[in-house]
Chain A
């Protein structure tokens, strides 16, 4: 048992069971003041249960949590705030139409004048103080919807630290997956702020799927597997593969193809003409894109990378005509198409697959069966337009078995599935229409390492089977794992293209191609970019 003395946060022997199943068993965690402690674990490892216990949403079956000398009481999320335990969740909980300042007071409480109106002057001063503590400058009077992803994250952090009782009382900050929406230099800006916080004595519990981030930022990391702590290690000198093997347990590190989900029967496709591009577009323009030419051949996987604002985030949707966009020419299987919208795409055998966290990927209120069959309903009807429920269920069961989707109940509510399983479901949903072209956005966002590997392997296998894959991703590693070609966007145009077998495909070459060369970043946090050239994420 780690002693509670000297530790800021001391989790001692926490266990938690749901309906007789152990989600956590005898978990210890100790965070000294002013340190950044990583917490990593698979989907289902008990990570989120632990966070929920800390936040007071679950009450543990056994064990205690101390913050300094206080034992955290059961329930009462608000009481924890008073004790100095603060949270920034992945969903930041900002009202996008509100300004930074308005959001700052939301949840933690606004300062009032003696007439009970909001005292904006005091509120503003308090936000300034917090920004000084964080050593960053954030716009206070613009709606957060107009801010960049990193600025939004920082506002959420500022709020957690400063809201209500003021910065002096914040003692431990729990950051849950803060970098999911951030890319490259933005991540570095966030890290700088987190380091500043730790420097001022606040403890940080940092939860992330991004192992290199954890190594980069944290001094120690706790690895959870199947509800138990399997390892607590210092990150100094630790490598990513070390963490991966700790996460996955023995028999882990392997090539993506080796862990692909069962897709053998997917390979039995008609052989397509591999000389004509399956999908080709020229002069693709949209809000963020200003003239992109792309072509994808059968059996090929093209990955698109780019920083936030490069147009990368819009590319998949623009290519499929799902957002307002124009193109000079669009060709599908060598035939010119006047214009595309999602409904045309379906008819042409083009699947647009948004990642599980993105709008439009799945109906949370639907069951696994209903989501999985949604794109292929028309193919599964009996006479009179009746949906063939039996077939639907049979198909769902097939995919559950093939992709090892958990839980294996077709009627299970999609809302309660884990990120990896959601992503498998979404992929299966679109594979049901037997697409010849798949346009995929963020295939591994919010998916744990093991499932991500399996998904990437599966994508590679699908491409090898003859489908044309256009994958837009913010994960360089993903692109490196599966791409035949990597296309890099910058300011709405293609800046570079790297081919496997021709160019060297490494993290370094890709990052070099992606990095800003022309001008320093104007992202609201001064002097953040390029401060640390040897950091893996610090571009330039």
Chain B
């Protein structure tokens, strides 16, 4: 049957690559900067704003980056926030009770994150609990542990001072160190996901685990690596957060869950045709950060950033998926051997998009 290969004329490759469909968030971001600059030229349009956005949102950025890997591999990690929380608490607890050495605190914090990642892997991949439910459950457990360790009080003893300064507050080239962490992890992830064999395997697993399995990929090991890496990056975020606040608190981590997911999903609509990717995640974080900071700068009420984040997520995803590449990649459940899948009928009245399989417009006649 006809392949109808008309959707990619060669001349427009570049137009598409930087066009609004592929990089809508960047355009919205630029538009926001212009709008806020016009409304509030003195307060908003300054180097200070840039630094503020970067400094304030680098931890959200780290969480979003952490999520890119497991999402690309087709598993959710809803425990990122709790994992960040438990790492921060453990680092702070170590400073307060064991030794004032920042290095040891970081090691203990990362060990906690590693533990969380390993437990997530065991639950999701070893025991076969669906990742959405499994990590929701572990999230609750990690949060409880964090509360137990901290005794429901923020731990600030020895966290202020040397630890805080060395890990988070020091300026490098005008921005604080966490921005640097974000950039480094962005580059590492971009390298791994887009250039390495592991990255290609990871995307294949996320799109179709059966293809990966029959292609000789050890699907579950790769998913375990992605879950553990996610936890470790979340651990970095949690330790950094403790350093920024000067205290380990069981309440700070979970707040990053939602913006982190929002940025990862929004980012998936950018640059790479529906693939979860680190560049998109960071741009999405910067977009959200710019909007939040801008709104507060122009004197909007304090609840407005939350509304902004929600609206942005819906608008950007809707705009990108409406015309271009179809819906976001479906996150699939664990791979099963050769299921015989009957395609469900499409929703009624759906227009046949190019993104549909050219050979079969399923269920067209039964509506």
What residues make up the interface of A, taking CB atoms closer than 8 Å to B? 18-19, 21, 23, 41, 43-49, 52, 55-58, 77-78, 80-81, 85-96, 106-108, 144-145, 152, 159-160, 163, 174, 176, 317, 322-324, 342-343, 345-347, 352, 354, 358-366, 370, 374-375, 377-378, 381, 384-387, 406-407, 409, 411-413, 415-419, 421, 446, 448
Chain B 345-367 per-residue mask, 1 if CB under 8 angstroms from chain A, else 0: 11011011011011111111111
In the complex, the answer to whether B365 meets A55 with C-beta atoms within 8 Å is: yes
Whether, in the assembled complex, B302 has its beta carbon less than 8 Å from a beta carbon of chain A, the answer is no
Which secondary structure dominates chain B's binding surface?
A: loop
Which residues of chain B (242-295) have a CB below 8 Å from chain A?
273-275
> 3 closest pairs, A vs B, by CB?
A87-B365, A93-B363, A346-B216
Number of interface residues of B (CB under 8 A): 62
Whether, in the assembled complex, B213 has its beta carbon less than 8 Å from a beta carbon of chain A, the answer is yes
Chain B 194-206 per-residue mask, 1 if CB under 8 angstroms from chain A, else 0: 0111111101100
In the complex, the answer to whether B211 meets A323 with C-beta atoms within 8 Å is: no
Of B6-14, B49-57, B143-151, which stretch is located at the interface?
A: B6-14
Chain B 31-43 per-residue mask, 1 if CB under 8 angstroms from chain A, else 0: 0000000000000
Chain B 308-341 per-residue mask, 1 if CB under 8 angstroms from chain A, else 0: 0000000000000000000001000000011111
In the bound complex, CA of A377 to CA of B98 (Å)? 47
In the bound complex, CA of A477 to CA of B10 (Å)? 40
What residues make up the interface of B, taking CB atoms closer than 8 Å to A? 1-10, 13, 191, 195-201, 203-204, 207-208, 210-211, 213-218, 273-275, 329, 337-346, 348-349, 351-352, 354-355, 357-367
B4 to chain A, nearest CB (A): 6
In the complex, the answer to whether B345 meets A406 with C-beta atoms within 8 Å is: no
In the bound complex, CA of A80 to CA of B191 (Å)? 51
A57 to chain B, nearest CB (A): 4
Besides the contacts A366-B203, A374-B211, A385-B198, what 16 more A-B pairs have beta carbons closer than 8 Å? A45-B2, A47-B1, A57-B352, A89-B360, A90-B360, A144-B342, A160-B365, A359-B208, A361-B211, A366-B204, A385-B196, A387-B200, A415-B358, A416-B358, A417-B3, A418-B358
In the complex, the answer to whether A343 meets B338 with C-beta atoms within 8 Å is: no
Closest to A52 in B: B361
In the complex, the answer to whether A96 meets B366 with C-beta atoms within 8 Å is: no
Closest to B205 in A: A363
In the bound complex, CA of A352 to CA of B275 (Å)? 27
Residues from chain B with a CB closer than 8 A to the CB of A55 are 361, 364-365
In the complex, the answer to whether A416 meets B365 with C-beta atoms within 8 Å is: no
Given A19-B6, A322-B337, A370-B200, the answer on whether A87 and B214 have CB atoms closer than 8 Å is no
In the bound complex, CA of A407 to CA of B2 (Å)? 11
Closest to B216 in A: A346
Among B6, B273, B339, B346, the one with the most A-chain Cβ atoms within 10 Å of its Cβ is B6
In the bound complex, CA of A160 to CA of B345 (Å)? 13
Closest to B329 in A: A365
A155 to chain B, nearest CB (A): 10
In the complex, the answer to whether A385 meets B197 with C-beta atoms within 8 Å is: yes
In the complex, the answer to whether B354 meets A365 with C-beta atoms within 8 Å is: no
Given A95-B342, A96-B341, A409-B10, the answer on whether A18 and B361 have CB atoms closer than 8 Å is no
In the complex, the answer to whether A89 meets B200 with C-beta atoms within 8 Å is: no
In the complex, the answer to whether A418 meets B215 with C-beta atoms within 8 Å is: no
Residues from chain B with a CB closer than 8 A to the CB of A416 are 3-5, 7, 354, 357-358
Given A44-B1, A375-B216, the answer on whether A360 and B208 have CB atoms closer than 8 Å is yes
In the bound complex, CA of A361 to CA of B215 (Å)? 9
In the complex, the answer to whether A57 meets B3 with C-beta atoms within 8 Å is: no
In the complex, the answer to whether A107 meets B3 with C-beta atoms within 8 Å is: no
In the complex, the answer to whether B361 meets A47 with C-beta atoms within 8 Å is: no
In the complex, the answer to whether A46 meets B2 with C-beta atoms within 8 Å is: yes
A364 touches which one: B6, B346, B357, B365 (CB < 8 A)?
B357
Closest to B346 in A: A93
In the complex, the answer to whether B200 meets A377 with C-beta atoms within 8 Å is: yes
Given A77-B367, A87-B364, A360-B208, the answer on whether A347 and B5 have CB atoms closer than 8 Å is no
In the bound complex, CA of A371 to CA of B352 (Å)? 25
